[in-house]
Amino acid sequence: MGDEDWEAEIIKPHVSSYVPVFEKDRYSSGANGDTFNRTPASSEIDDGSSRRDHFMRSGFASGRSLGNRDAGESNKRENTSTMGGFGVGKCFGNRGFSNNKFEEGDSSGFWRGYQDGNDSEASGSSRRGGRGSFRGCRGGFGLGSPNSEFEQDEGTQRTSGLFGSRRPALSGTGNGDIYQSRSGSGSRRGGYKGLNEEIITSSGKNSWKSEAEGGESGDTQGPKVTYIPPPPPEDEDSIFAHYQTGINFDKYDTILVEVSGHDAPPAILTFEEANLCQTLNSNIAKAGYTKLTPVQKYSIPIILAGRDLMACAQTGSGKTAAFLLPILAHMMRDGITASRFKELQEPECIIVAPTRELINQIYLEARKFSFGTCVRAVVIYGGTQLGHSIRQIVQGCNVLCATPGRLMDIIGKEKIGLRQVKYLVLDEADRMLDMGFGPEMKKLISCPGMPSKEQRQTLMFSATFPEEIQRLAGDFLKSNYLFVAVGQVGGACRDVQQTILQVGQYSKREKLVEILRNIGDERTMVFVETKKKADFIATFLCQEKISTTSIHGDREQREREQALGDFRCGKCPVLVATSVAARGLDIENVQHVINFDLSSTIDEYVHRIGRTGRCGNIGRAISFFDPESDSHLAQPLVKVLSDAQQDVPAWLEEIAFSTYVPGFSGSTRGNVFASVDTRKNYQGKSTLNTAGFSSSQAPSPVDDESWD
């Protein structure tokens, strides 16, 4: 059964409810599996699906069942911009989209990086070399184009970026049409997405600038992005609202920490030792922080000492405050001038993160810690009105929190000058440096006015840091940067109880429902591999009377924020998500993560399950392992499980053993077990920058170029 068949199934006209009934035998027939496996394009890129979910939220979640016609009408109301060929009049949102077209574009080997039968989920990720290429199709990734849309998408699309082959095959008209149909603005720029400010050109070096100029200035075709996010709450209680640390918070102290590099300042043990100003201390107290986490103990003095830093610590262990507090302390110490209205703002600090929701969360943290100071934090991200971003900035901006695409757009509009940048923070740094965002970041550091790495302080944080990415990071960091590893680099949080179940793809839905019924109302994130599948599963769960919403890169920003809000407040205790929600999101009371589909890489697995078990709280993660498609993960999974002192099922060990590949850790999916600062692995090799080490650790420094 092809894509069309699958879609035919889901819009079966005889089904009375808006969502079709998925008979088990049909789903199990292999046809659907094929669809998921062979529709990377449609599932990732296509599909108008976002509208459906909205219905689910508003209809199904409340136990209401919409008829097809209702859904179609709602589509019109909700998202006229996507209607042009994208889901007009169809209840499940796929009809208007030409999968064939995409697949044609795709056929030039884009997906071939991944094996037959799996290219499906390629849409989801890196393992499927398709990812990288897909990105390429968006109009010249790596050619200096803005790629502003990147943040729009799942992190997954980028994950593989590092290893995926990039080809421009999809930048042709077909593709343009596709995206144009979504947003009405894709064709001019030869490519992807459709939200005005997020479209990339395929032209040369300065394309990001012209892009930005075009962004919402009226020279683009198609509708403008008009969404203005609601302002954050102003009252102190909301600003400082926080959740309790869990019973395992004190156990953080037992985690081994390794610092590598020259002359690292000693760790601090208490907030008092950091010698922060009174206002900051008061904000820290109001935030409920009484004790430092390990990453904070080590990172805060390093940053206060003015050193560059790459820090790797488990999910949910307080990395955000680890960089925000010392930066704000420096700003206060340096007597920052109160920001005021200016057409060109020159922030002292720029923080970038890969997804909109995450950067917004970081902004809220920055706003919390800078409360009562003259430091003004601003957040800008794609999917919102560009004019709104500009208005926020011109009112004053000391700390700019941004997704990469929107940042480049705003720089192109000359609303942000970079000359005063003293701190550049890459959160989820491994993602920010992979092939998805890496070129954007390189452009950022070579923008006119951006202080050289010697003149600024660059800080990178993540829970995972593959070796390849660590080496790329050398372009951004001073050669004597320090590396802090809290526990095992890339290791899972031990507060998450991990269970791996062997579940074939045709049994997954049944198993999911069984688990969710047992879980009851506890908040649960369900990760799937593709956007299309996110809608499919969310719809299915709603049909099963399980209040569910979804978040993925094809949903409009307003919908994404609404979905997160509904999940946060418990209105919809189940959130079906693609990898767009895998990293960084800090949501209170997420007790369970279910990997309906395992992620393509082990790093992403670690981030996904890290949405639970945060800040010393206990969480549970259940992952469906389908031997047909997930065997490549068996080995790294066994490693991650055993490192986190979890039970390893015998059957998984067997699969891992039978799929053992010597030299696995150096495979194209990256060395997930980079337990150390990568520089150490190259001791004595003059081709790498080993500069941070004492003479006993490494030879004398070499040029930065050696990182290239």
Ligand X SMILES: Nc1ncnc2c1ncn2[C@@H]1O[C@H](COP(=O)(O)OP(=O)(O)OP(=O)(O)O)[C@@H](O)[C@H]1O
Which residue ranges make up the site for ligand X (CB under 6 A)?
242, 245, 288-289, 291-293, 296, 313, 315-321, 463, 584, 586, 610, 614-615
- The DSSP call for residue 678 is G
From the list 283, 467, 433, the residue with the least C-alpha distance to 352 is 433
* H or E element, residue 8: helix 3-10
Cβ closer to ligand X: 163 or 252?
A: 252
The least distance separating ligand X from the CB of residue 315, rounded to whole angstroms, comes to 4
In the block, tokens 């998202």 appear at 79
The least distance separating ligand X from the CB of residue 553, rounded to whole angstroms, comes to 19
Cβ closer to ligand X: 106 or 495?
A: 495
The least distance separating ligand X from the CB of residue 427, rounded to whole angstroms, comes to 7
Q: What angle do CA 427, 428, 431 make, to 5 degrees?
A: 130
Cβ closer to ligand X: 12 or 291?
A: 291
The least distance separating ligand X from the CB of residue 370, rounded to whole angstroms, comes to 15
Cβ closer to ligand X: 316 or 636?
A: 316
From the list 403, 395, 345, the residue with the least C-alpha distance to 379 is 403
Q: d(Cα 603, Cα 429) in Å, to the nearest integer? A: 13
The least distance separating ligand X from the CB of residue 238, rounded to whole angstroms, comes to 14
From the list 88, 92, 82, 77, the residue with the least C-alpha distance to 17 is 92
CB-based contact 451:421 (threshold 8 Å) = yes
Cβ closer to ligand X: 292 or 447?
A: 292
CB-based contact 140:210 (threshold 8 Å) = no
The least distance separating ligand X from the CB of residue 282, rounded to whole angstroms, comes to 15
The least distance separating ligand X from the CB of residue 672, rounded to whole angstroms, comes to 16
| φ/ψ (deg, to 5) at 398 | -100, -40
The least distance separating ligand X from the CB of residue 617, rounded to whole angstroms, comes to 9
Tell me the residue length of the chain.
Answer: 708
Retrieve residue 501's tokens: 């179940």
The least distance separating ligand X from the CB of residue 364, rounded to whole angstroms, comes to 10
The least distance separating ligand X from the CB of residue 313, rounded to whole angstroms, comes to 6
Q: d(Cα 569, Cα 168) in Å, to the nearest integer? A: 42
CB-based contact 383:129 (threshold 8 Å) = no
| φ/ψ (deg, to 5) at 429 | -60, -35
The least distance separating ligand X from the CB of residue 318, rounded to whole angstroms, comes to 3
Cβ closer to ligand X: 204 or 288?
A: 288
The least distance separating ligand X from the CB of residue 227, rounded to whole angstroms, comes to 25
Cβ closer to ligand X: 134 or 369?
A: 369
- Chain residue whose CB lies nearest ligand X: 318
CB-based contact 579:128 (threshold 8 Å) = no
Q: d(Cα 462, Cα 607) in Å, to the nearest integer? A: 9
Cβ closer to ligand X: 97 or 461?
A: 461
Cβ closer to ligand X: 313 or 485?
A: 313
Cβ closer to ligand X: 313 or 515?
A: 313
Q: d(Cα 33, Cα 35) in Å, to the nearest integer? A: 5
Which residues lie below 8 Å from residue 234, measured CB to CB, with a gap of 6+? none
CB-based contact 625:631 (threshold 8 Å) = no
For residue 532, the number of C-alpha atoms closer than 13 Å in the C-beta half-sphere is: 31
Please state, in angstroms and as integers, the Cα–Cα distance from residue 43 to each residue in 93, 335, 374, 400, following that order. Answer: 12, 50, 46, 33
Retrieve residue 301's tokens: 């003095």
Q: d(Cα 183, Cα 27) in Å, to the nearest integer? A: 32
Give the bridge partners for 399, in sequence order.
Answer: 349, 377
Cβ closer to ligand X: 1 or 618?
A: 618
Cβ closer to ligand X: 614 or 679?
A: 614
Q: What is the DSSP string of 608-634?
A: HHTTSS-TT--EEEEEEE-HHHHGGGH
The least distance separating ligand X from the CB of residue 675, rounded to whole angstroms, comes to 17
Question: CB atoms < 10 A from the CB of 415, how many?
Answer: 22
Retrieve residue 498's tokens: 């991990």
- The DSSP call for residue 60 is I
Cβ closer to ligand X: 300 or 435?
A: 300
In 24-134, DSSP assigns E strands to none
Cβ closer to ligand X: 313 or 328?
A: 313
Cβ closer to ligand X: 313 or 424?
A: 313
The least distance separating ligand X from the CB of residue 593, rounded to whole angstroms, comes to 12
The least distance separating ligand X from the CB of residue 577, rounded to whole angstroms, comes to 14
Taking every pair of Cα atoms in the chain, the longest distance, rounded to a whole number of angstroms, is: 75
Q: d(Cα 380, Cα 363) in Å, to the nearest integer? A: 9
CB-based contact 441:424 (threshold 8 Å) = no
Q: d(Cα 55, Cα 64) in Å, to the nearest integer? A: 9
Cβ closer to ligand X: 127 or 608?
A: 608
The least distance separating ligand X from the CB of residue 377, rounded to whole angstroms, comes to 15
Cβ closer to ligand X: 66 or 364?
A: 364
The least distance separating ligand X from the CB of residue 528, rounded to whole angstroms, comes to 19
CA 332 and chain centroid, separation: 31
CB-based contact 158:437 (threshold 8 Å) = yes
CB-based contact 120:40 (threshold 8 Å) = yes
CB-based contact 569:523 (threshold 8 Å) = no
The one-letter amino acid code at 487 reads G
